[in-house]
Chains A and B, each alone.
Chain A
């Protein structure tokens, strides 16, 4: 790659200026939100809008965490974390197992099952939300972690991804494991799982963000404020009617809600990139 693009002088500066400008445009709203979370409500609503952080950072964040809106933010963060992790881990386990079954076992109607799984791709939560709600409600799962996680846990996308991955693993490797005496379970744990770890890491990032950002489903199944997730919590903190509202606290909540996905992306990226580099021959 070195030497492929070689620009000197003004070209480099222009490129960098363009990139910096683009980043600034994208980051500006987040910066404004951060600034808004560090000032008082009075400072915020008095024009001009402040562009530099104020001195009330600790105060606002503590208020958000401990008091929040309908429920304290720490509790909503915890709920979101449980839900996102539950969905992520559950999806990965289920799709690994179903892909394993579809690729490595010959059973009747195997392709039918594969296509059934594949077809559920066409039915996102929003489409099946009414019947799903009915089922969850009649099972008494409203206001529970199970109710939050279970309906979102099956994943055709992840199953498909692992299926494609397993199909690229050479048959000879499977046969070598058979000759070595590895049964189906051992083969799965000792060979397939370690060989899938880069894909698992990538999926973890994607699914965690998917789970964390769920809005509609938690809004429906949690009526008890103590079960609210942070994404829907922000919405519920917004003013309705002529209520007065503490924008700095809402902004602090928004900043807190953004933090875990960022941490996951940054943290997993290393592992994920390392895995990609390692599997290179």
Chain B
């Protein structure tokens, strides 16, 4: 178990810089999720922590050591790969025991550690099987088991659930969380799935184009996105972005600046009774909730999330939108939050 500290981490491939200086401090036992769209450098960052990629500049500390030059095996980490990377010719037992065998752990201890992990992951009946005789979820568990038996200081997960079907993904997500809680091992988890990020993370690092846009607790990031990118990436459907200020008593926005409001912070009211009028284009009833798509009188596209039991407005009708002005976030032309002083609950923003 250990803290991780990233200091100004940069990565170049040839002359192209793909990671532009990332700083983060992760405390012992914390579950950190690195989330971002494909190609944002999140996997590269994880692989640099693992020691599978070299670090162009900056320092990575694990525990109280700088591990920049250390081989993966010397870093006291264990990694779970997207495709599980199980050794196809070895049994489940051997897959889990391989790292321990190399580390010259005595046989009886290997046996007890692997059996313990197998019991924890309910893999006991499968110890003699080969990976190809297992289902996707079971393979995923073996990959986890291989990480657990080594009792590492840090778990690294590289999109471990993306090869599973939706139902299994939810189940494994809960198992990973429970396991990490139980073992208390610091975990670094990479995903492009914001739901995974929201549900698993103690804190998350939202990455975009090689930069950490925001670091913070999931709900904090959701409520208080530091940038327009974060506002759009976290949350489904994403935050509405309007280029016309609809708040009462405000002039026009600066060129390029926008305001954002979450779909669930808007209520439908009678025409003229809200901040602005809205023409309903179509509705998407999802059961528990309904998404109402349409265009504001000022010409911005907008989505409203309403309770599933409210009667649906007919397509083409005009309704009013009631929005608490305090829920509206403003972003400047560079996509950063502006007017932060307008809100009292903005203090947590880390950017």
Do A and B actually bind? yes
Which residues from chain A sit less than 8 Å from chain B, CB to CB?
170, 172-173, 175-182, 186, 190-191, 194-195, 279, 281
For the complex formed, measure the closest distance between the CB of A100 and the CB atoms of chain B, giving whole angstroms.
17
What residues of chain B lie closer than 8 Å to A194, measured between beta carbons?
89-90
Return 15 A-B CB contacts under 8 Å, by A number: A176-B79, A176-B81, A176-B85, A178-B51, A179-B52, A179-B72, A179-B78, A179-B79, A179-B99, A181-B99, A181-B103, A182-B98, A186-B102, A190-B87, A191-B87
For the complex formed, measure the closest distance between the CB of B132 and the CB atoms of chain A, giving whole angstroms.
5
In the bound complex, what is the Cα–Cα distance between A233 and B29 (angstroms)? Answer: 75
In the bound complex, what is the Cα–Cα distance between A279 and B89 (angstroms)? Answer: 9
For the complex formed, measure the closest distance between the CB of A225 and the CB atoms of chain B, giving whole angstroms.
46
B63-102 CB contact bits vs A (8 Å, 1 = yes)? 0000000011100011101110111111000000011001
- Smallest CB gap from B102: residue in A: A181
Do residues A190 and B132 form an inter-chain contact, with CB atoms below 8 A?
no
**Which 6 A/B pairs are nearest by Cβ-Cβ distance?**
A181-B73, A180-B99, A176-B85, A172-B85, A194-B89, A181-B102
B233-289 interface (Cβ within 8 A of A) = none
For the complex formed, measure the closest distance between the CB of A242 and the CB atoms of chain B, giving whole angstroms.
62
For the complex formed, measure the closest distance between the CB of A186 and the CB atoms of chain B, giving whole angstroms.
6
In the bound complex, what is the Cα–Cα distance between A94 and B82 (angstroms)? Answer: 34
Q: Is B185 an interface residue (CB 8 A)?
A: no
Excluding A182-B102, A195-B89, 14 further A-B contacts by CB distance (< 8 Å) are A170-B83, A170-B85, A172-B82, A176-B79, A176-B87, A179-B50, A179-B72, A179-B73, A179-B78, A180-B146, A181-B72, A181-B73, A181-B103, A279-B88
Taking A179-B73, A180-B102, A195-B89 as contacts, is the C-beta distance between A172 and B50 under 8 angstroms? no
What residues of chain B lie closer than 8 Å to A281, measured between beta carbons?
132
Do residues B77 and A179 form an inter-chain contact, with CB atoms below 8 A?
yes
Do residues B98 and A178 form an inter-chain contact, with CB atoms below 8 A?
no
Q: Number of contact residues on B: which range applies?
A: 20 to 34
For the complex formed, measure the closest distance between the CB of A210 and the CB atoms of chain B, giving whole angstroms.
28
Most buried by B among A172, A179, A182: A179
Do residues B81 and A172 form an inter-chain contact, with CB atoms below 8 A?
yes
In the bound complex, what is the Cα–Cα distance between A279 and B88 (angstroms)? Answer: 8
What residues of chain B lie closer than 8 Å to A179, measured between beta carbons?
50-52, 72-73, 77-79, 99
For the complex formed, measure the closest distance between the CB of B70 and the CB atoms of chain A, giving whole angstroms.
12
B contacts with A: majority SS? loop
Most buried by B among A172, A194, A281: A172
What residues of chain A lie closer than 8 Å to B103, measured between beta carbons?
181
What residues of chain A lie closer than 8 Å to B72, measured between beta carbons?
175, 178-179, 181
Please tell me which one of the listed residues B81, B98, B102 contacts residue A175 in the complex, with CB atoms under 8 A apart: B81
For the complex formed, measure the closest distance between the CB of A134 and the CB atoms of chain B, giving whole angstroms.
45
A contacts with B: majority SS? helix
Most buried by B among A176, A181, A194: A176
What residues of chain A lie closer than 8 Å to B146, measured between beta carbons?
176, 180
What residues of chain A lie closer than 8 Å to B73, measured between beta carbons?
178-181
For the complex formed, measure the closest distance between the CB of B67 and the CB atoms of chain A, giving whole angstroms.
13
Most buried by A among B50, B102, B146: B102
What residues of chain B lie closer than 8 Å to A181, measured between beta carbons?
72-73, 99, 102-103
What residues of chain A lie closer than 8 Å to B102, measured between beta carbons?
180-182, 186
In the bound complex, what is the Cα–Cα distance between A173 and B88 (angstroms)? Answer: 9
For the complex formed, measure the closest distance between the CB of B285 and the CB atoms of chain A, giving whole angstroms.
41
Taking A179-B50, A181-B102 as contacts, is the C-beta distance between A173 and B87 under 8 angstroms? yes
What residues of chain A lie closer than 8 Å to B81, measured between beta carbons?
172, 175-176
In the bound complex, what is the Cα–Cα distance between A186 and B47 (angstroms)? Answer: 22
For the complex formed, measure the closest distance between the CB of B103 and the CB atoms of chain A, giving whole angstroms.
6
What residues of chain A lie closer than 8 Å to B88, measured between beta carbons?
195, 279
What residues of chain B lie closer than 8 Å to A173, measured between beta carbons?
85, 87
What residues of chain A lie closer than 8 Å to B132, measured between beta carbons?
281
B127-143 interface (Cβ within 8 A of A) = 132
- Smallest CB gap from A178: residue in B: B72
For the complex formed, measure the closest distance between the CB of A257 and the CB atoms of chain B, giving whole angstroms.
37
In the bound complex, what is the Cα–Cα distance between A162 and B103 (angstroms)? Answer: 29
B119-160 CB contact bits vs A (8 Å, 1 = yes)? 000000000000010000000000000100010000000000
In the bound complex, what is the Cα–Cα distance between A151 and B224 (angstroms)? Answer: 73
In the bound complex, what is the Cα–Cα distance between A67 and B78 (angstroms)? Answer: 67
What residues of chain B lie closer than 8 Å to A186, measured between beta carbons?
102
In the bound complex, what is the Cα–Cα distance between A170 and B71 (angstroms)? Answer: 20
For the complex formed, measure the closest distance between the CB of A178 and the CB atoms of chain B, giving whole angstroms.
5
What residues of chain A lie closer than 8 Å to B78, measured between beta carbons?
179
- Smallest CB gap from A280: residue in B: B132
Do residues B71 and A178 form an inter-chain contact, with CB atoms below 8 A?
yes
For the complex formed, measure the closest distance between the CB of B19 and the CB atoms of chain A, giving whole angstroms.
19
Taking A180-B73, A281-B132 as contacts, is the C-beta distance between A175 and B85 under 8 angstroms? yes
Please tell me which one of the listed residues A170, A178, A279 contacts residue B52 in the complex, with CB atoms under 8 A apart: A178
- Smallest CB gap from A197: residue in B: B89
- Smallest CB gap from B104: residue in A: A181
In the bound complex, what is the Cα–Cα distance between A281 and B81 (angstroms)? Answer: 19
